[in-house]
Amino acid sequence: MNQRDKGTRLLSFLKSVIKLWSKILALISDRGWRVLALALYFLLFSYVIVSSLFIAKLHLTLGEPSPQLITAPWSMEIEDIDKYLKDQQAAVDSTQPVYRPNQIVSNDLSQKLAEAFTLLRDAAHSYQDAGIKVAQLRGYFYFEDLSDSVLTSLTQSGAAEIEEAEREAIVMIIGNIRNVDTGARTQADIPVLKNHLQSGMNQSSLAPEMKVFLSHFIEQEITQPTLEIDLEVTETLKQANRDAVNKTVVYYKANQKIIGAGEIVDESTLMVLEKYGILGSKYSWRTAGGLGLIILAGMFAIIMYTYQFKRDIYYSTQKMVLIGLPMVLALFIGKGLVAVDLGGQLNSLTGFLIPVAWATAAIAILVDRDIAFVISFILAAFSGLLIDPLMVNASGMQVGLVALFGGITSVYAVSRLNQRSDLASAGLFIAGSNAVVISGIALVTGMQLMTWAVGVLLGVINGVVSSILNIGTLHWLESGFHITSSVQLLELANPNHVLQKRLLIEAPGTYHHSILVGNLAEAAAESVKADPILVRAGALYHDIGKLKRPYFFIENQFSQENPHDKIAPTLSSLIIIAHVKDGLELAKEYKLPLPIQDIIRQHHGDSLVSFFYHKAKEDNEEITEEAFTYEGPRPQSKEAALVSLADSVEAAVRSMKQSTPGRIEGMVRKLIKDKLNDGQLDQSDLTLQDLDRIAVAFVRVLSGIFHSRVEYPELPQRQRAALPPAPEGTEGAEEPAPSGSKELTDAT
């Protein structure tokens, strides 16, 4: 097989793997992704609440008084593991090592002793002269320091005497050094061993010269311990002593006092508290399971609320994930903040720093205000569990109350954002709410003045930090989840935006038309509970496509010439219709949010460009409507429908020659009825009652814009001559209205 065939097979295999992976991903529906997200959030909530990631919630110091009464959460037998381990170690340490003869040392001494007696036996059996025998023995290490008289006596010993002396020496010397009771265990025991051997030697029946020889041998050759530790036997004995130690078990009943307020904390108390999970990081499985059930209940409440009342959020994986993210981040931030050790009773106040208000405000801005209120309750409960997972004292409830009211206040404070500075104002509202709630807690619990002051300070810091977090994270959450918030819409409504500046300069008529459409649509949005900020922003950008060919639209034609008079109606229709597509291209180029793009795409629906259609019909009766129809789709939301209606109404009323309130209302209701009959509002969720409210709002705004004006009377020549000359640069300005007439003043 050549390289090309191998490459082809590999490419085919990779394509098969990619197709298989694509099929697997396709099998995971939106519901599957939501389930995965919920499972992940459950694990994160459980981790941050159940685990002692940073510090314990209850700060007790050995030897210091307890700040509060602590009782047993449930009945439990508690084993004093620390004492048990200490007792076991003491048993091991008290175990005496077991010794055995050091075979190397004893064999070496036996060999040397046998060698010495062999030399002595050879010298004694020799037929040489006595002097030669003495000289011969003195040449060996064992005998070199002995006197001539001793050596002479040794060489004269009989064979039986030497044999008997050797047997006694082996029994006495080798027997004692191998004996575990008399042998030398350490270097310090060697002198004792030598003294014992010398004493035995002196009491023996050996000849005096033999005693001198053996004493000399003992002194020279026994220089190291003769016993060694039997590691295996010693370890077995230690294990037996360790196993013989009994555990210390203490039984606590539910609600039994562990330590009272003011009582000194000792080691046993700390051990009991750690066993219950009140201190340290050793939560029991029972505790973890209970907290897991509470977390599941909170998540289930959110899911059921969205399913029952907010179906659009329930079926949006993106929004469900976005709801959980600020909640998890707030708890993780809170977990880190409560690790700050303020000392003593002040440690119970660090929970006031948990930024629940930031999380609920972010959800209210990016997802939905109503769901944010529900999150306030859930997140307040989670915050209380974060501080006091076993619910053994009041600190968890106090933190939960502060979090609850702070969260609700934050949702209210950001529910109607008109400018970015409102986020900073929301921080002040949150700080005030926290201060009030903490003060109430202080009065109920009899909190000391210093503790109250620190608590209020932390509550105020919470409000300020929540505001800073909202300002800092809002952009990233918007970008990451492709969410268009009211803050972003407010920025788009700024007249300094580059597209608004281009409209003002390149298509001023369209610019002013868009502002009026925005006024109309915003007023109507407030009456039908639509999003007024989105409506205004959408209205300001709905006609940006006209920037490509501004003079083909009548509001930008300031001369008597109309370019449509020189081209065919079909081409005119294409140019008019193209402003929607051109607007979408500009919106994508300038990265306008998707809701704004939807309004641009839908504000004409699939309606007919009737003027040019009828003009073309005059030349060709068989022409169809397809070339004169917008591509659509029809408005899919209340906001898009409001912009569509306001666009048509503003243009029609502007073209009226006599714009009296009655004529304006008649025109408005006729246009709304025409849109309804044409089916342009079928997909917008607007009811007939909504349409009536929209008409009323339109008429109210239009009557203020296109109100009747009083014609200024001509002043007589004599009176005009008496007027002072106009200031330089004001030629052509309107003449002042007659004094005393408010109507004329408003008209100017």
- Give the model confidence (pLDDT) of 188-225 as tens digits: 889 988 898 888 888 888 888 888 888 888 888 888 99
CATH node for 49-56+281-481:
1.10.1760
Buried b vs exposed e over 335-362: b needs ≥16 C-beta within 10 Å?
A: bebbeeeeeebbbbbbbbbbbbbbbbbb
| Sequence-ordered list of residues with C-beta below 8 angstroms from that of 321, at least 6 positions apart, any chain | 37, 481
Tens digits of residue pLDDT in 685-706: 899 999 999 999 999 998 887 6
Cβ burial, residue 157 (10 Å; 0-12/13-18/19+): buried
CA angle in degrees (0–180, nearest 5) for 179-185-186: 155
Across the range 100-107, mean pLDDT stands at 90
How much of the chain exceeds pLDDT 70, in percent? 83
Element (H, E) at 166: helix 159-169
Across the range 412-419, mean pLDDT stands at 78
**Where along the chain do the CATH 1.10.1760 domains lie?**
49-56+281-481
Across the chain, what does the average pLDDT equal? 81
Tens digits of residue pLDDT in 41-80: 999 998 888 765 333 446 677 788 887 788 776 556 677 7
Cβ burial, residue 583 (10 Å; 0-12/13-18/19+): buried
The two tokens of residue 632 are 């659509």
* pLDDT for the residue numbered 424: 83
* pLDDT for the residue numbered 58: 61
Tens digits of residue pLDDT in 568-602: 888 888 989 999 999 999 999 998 988 999 999 99
Residue 502: pLDDT band with limits 50, 70, 90: very high
| Sequence-ordered list of residues with C-beta below 8 angstroms from that of 156, at least 6 positions apart, any chain | 124, 130
**Where along the chain do the CATH 1.10.3210 domains lie?**
489-705
Q: How far is CA 279 from CA 92, 268, 276, 373, in A?
A: 30, 13, 8, 33
Q: How many other C-beta atoms can be found within 10 angstroms of the C-beta atom of residue 556?
A: 19
- Highest mean pLDDT out of 261-275, 420-434, 632-646: 632-646
* pLDDT for the residue numbered 21: 52
Cβ burial, residue 241 (10 Å; 0-12/13-18/19+): middle
Q: How far is CA 511 from CA 539, 547, 652, in A?
A: 10, 10, 17
* Parallel/antiparallel/unpaired status of strands 257-259 and 99-101: unpaired
Q: Are 66 and 223 in contact (CB under 8 A)?
A: no
Q: Are 627 and 641 in contact (CB under 8 A)?
A: no
Q: How far is CA 487 from CA 350, 364, 415, 426, 550, in A?
A: 31, 12, 11, 13, 30
How much of the chain exceeds pLDDT 90, in percent? 29
Q: Are 363 and 323 in contact (CB under 8 A)?
A: yes
As a residue count, the chain comes to 748
DSSP states of 443-489: HHHT--HHHHHHHHHHHHHHHHHHHHHHHHHHHHHHHHHT---HHHH
* pLDDT for the residue numbered 512: 92
User: Is 1.25.40 the CATH number for 489-705?
Assistant: no
